[in-house]
Amino acid sequence: MHGEQQHYDVLVIGSGAAGLTVALNLPASLRVAVLAKAISAEGSTFYAQGGVAAVLDAHDSVESHIADTLNAGAGLCHADAVRFTVEHSREAIQWLIEQGVAFTGEPGDEQHHDYHLTREGGHSHRRVIHAADATGRAIETTLLDRARARGNITLHDNHIAIDLITSTKLGRGDNRVLGAYVLDRKRGKVEVLRARSVVLATGGASKVYLYTSNPDISTGDGIAMAWRAGCRVANMEFNQFHPTCLYHPKAKSFLITEAIRGEGGRLLLPDGSRFMERFDPRGELAPRDIVARAIDHEIKRLGVECVYLDISHRPAEFIQNHFPTVYARCLEFGIDITREPIPVVPAAHYTCGGVMVDLNGRTDITGLYAAGEVTFTGLHGANRLASNSLLECLVFGRAAALDITARLPDLPPVDALPAWDESRVTDSDEEVVVSHNWEELRRFMWDYVGIVRTDKRLQRAKRRVDLLCSEIHEYYGNFRVTNDLLELRNLVQVADLIIRSAMARKESRGLHYTLDYPHIAAGEPQDTILVPDNSPLH
């Protein structure tokens, strides 16, 4: 397909809740492509256990949800983004129900008129609507079925975007996105996908860390591509670590849902004693950053490998009904959660910063939009409130679709673009370089840029990431692209953005905690905004 180029009205890079919400809210008259890096369902949405936060209960209010979000965000939330998201929460849930998502009802309510709402850390009300403990799976599979049934949407599995194509890169000067170079992972061929508008919905970058709750594909691709294309990124120092990931040598990144603590789960040291009250009066229901830091502190203080989460004091039937996924998964590893505690460690979970967008999902480049975890909308501030993430995907996905629909008539079709040039590269005989650099990156990010930071640790990390950047740049210039190389290139870029952002913040706030500046700085809180050299704003 070297000479052949595919042309679409809208190219959506990413097939999770954000990407599919965009695609399904675009008019059926538009030709839409949705790229999935692996199979379409693979991604953070599919694995999201908790649910979607929304104001659905008569005793709850928009103002209360806004207050909880602002409180969790430690002074850095943008009030307009928070209000916009929360005010659209009910219609987002209504849309999911119309698409066919089967949320869990109250016991005995066969008609599902009353949905069961759970409460998670940081929320003052029960407002998290869910489908048992596999909400993401219910949303992802339903939206995928809808997309497959639409004649105007083409799903491309096993396609990884390499880079955005912009008019600026081609010397055309009007700062517009024109499409993307994309690697078909099955055939090993690079394709040119032209599009009048492009949406980044690629998720977060937690794979930059050694321990993560995320699937393997969370490698920050969209953030890195947008940065290389000239977009600003913000608040990359705020990486949320989920306090409770299953600790087992064979259990790769299995999350133990926050709702277990919401329903009375207790955190225990190896000797069986509780410890959360020493760190926060809210105990196990303190916000995630406090819980994660407390666990990290105890693990390091005692030199142990994990702590334990115990729900076994609740009735077995209650546990099996409320947490069937966790119950079944733990049983596979020989852990019966109705009778014994679950070994847990914190793990990188959510990227609060990302590509800067406005309330319509627009980036700094004309025609380029972004939605979901890849973005910085201002909703999450310095710490994301539980279950606001899927909500953000839905609200901003819809907003982006509406804005694209309104503006697309003014964007002319894209003429033929330069083909991908492989004339000067060879197949690599040094795959070990990629795998070694991958391991080294994730280890030093965990050790030096993890839950607790210091200036010295960050300086060490910066020296290492600079070296990796130059090694990978040279490697990328000489060899044919592979999936592993592209992901590593993106991860190293994102790691550099995280380190630079962390070095710039001389305070501890929300998810960014440094021993050198343990307090919140005086004065007006500031976002950390990084501007690339090729930004149109220069």
Q: Which of 308, 333, 348 is a domain's end point?
A: 348
Q: Is 419 inside any structural domain? A: no
Same domain, 92 and 46: yes
Taking only the tens place, the pLDDT of each residue in 411-443 is 999 999 999 988 888 887 777 888 899 999 998
133-142, 300-309, 453-462: which has the highest mean pLDDT?
Answer: 453-462
CA distance 325 to 115: 19
Taking only the tens place, the pLDDT of each residue in 486-524 is 999 999 999 999 999 999 999 999 999 999 999 999 999
Same domain, 343 and 357: no
Same domain, 324 and 377: no
- Domain harbouring 462, CATH code: 1.20.58.100
Q: Is 527 inside any structural domain? A: no
> Would you say residue 114 has pLDDT above 90?
no
CA distance 328 to 324: 6
Domain count, the chain: 3
Q: Is 424 inside any structural domain? A: no
Q: Is 117 inside any structural domain? A: yes
The pTM of the full predicted model, rounded to 2 decimals, is 0.92
Q: Is 335 inside any structural domain? A: yes
Nearest partner of 144 among 237, 279, 34, 299, judged by Cα: 34
Taking only the tens place, the pLDDT of each residue in 196-249 is 999 999 999 999 998 898 888 899 999 999 999 999 999 999 999 989 999 987
Q: Is 511 inside any structural domain? A: yes
- Specify the amino acid at residue 152: N
CA distance 431 to 301: 38
> Would you say residue 444 has pLDDT above 80?
yes
Same domain, 221 and 310: no
Same domain, 194 and 87: yes
Same domain, 343 and 368: no
Distances (CA, A) of 230 to 204, 403, 536: 19, 21, 7
Which residues span the domain enclosing 273? 241-348
Same domain, 333 and 403: no
Same domain, 66 and 158: yes
Q: Are 222 and 14 in contact, with CB atoms under 8 Å apart? A: yes
Residues belonging to the active site: 288
Longest dimension (CA), the chain: 67
- Domain harbouring 85, CATH code: 3.50.50.60
> Would you say residue 380 has pLDDT above 50?
yes
Lookup: tokens for 499: 């380190």
DSSP H or E stretch at residue 52: strand 52-53
Residue 14: band (very low, low, confident or very high) from pLDDT cuts 50, 70, 90: very high
Nearest partner of 75 among 484, 425, 417, 380, judged by Cα: 380
Same domain, 193 and 283: no
pLDDT of residue 113: 61
Q: Is 357 inside any structural domain? A: yes
pLDDT of residue 146: 97
Same domain, 267 and 343: yes
- Domain harbouring 250, CATH code: 3.90.700.10
Same domain, 146 and 170: yes
Same domain, 301 and 449: no
pLDDT of residue 171: 87
Q: Is 531 inside any structural domain? A: no
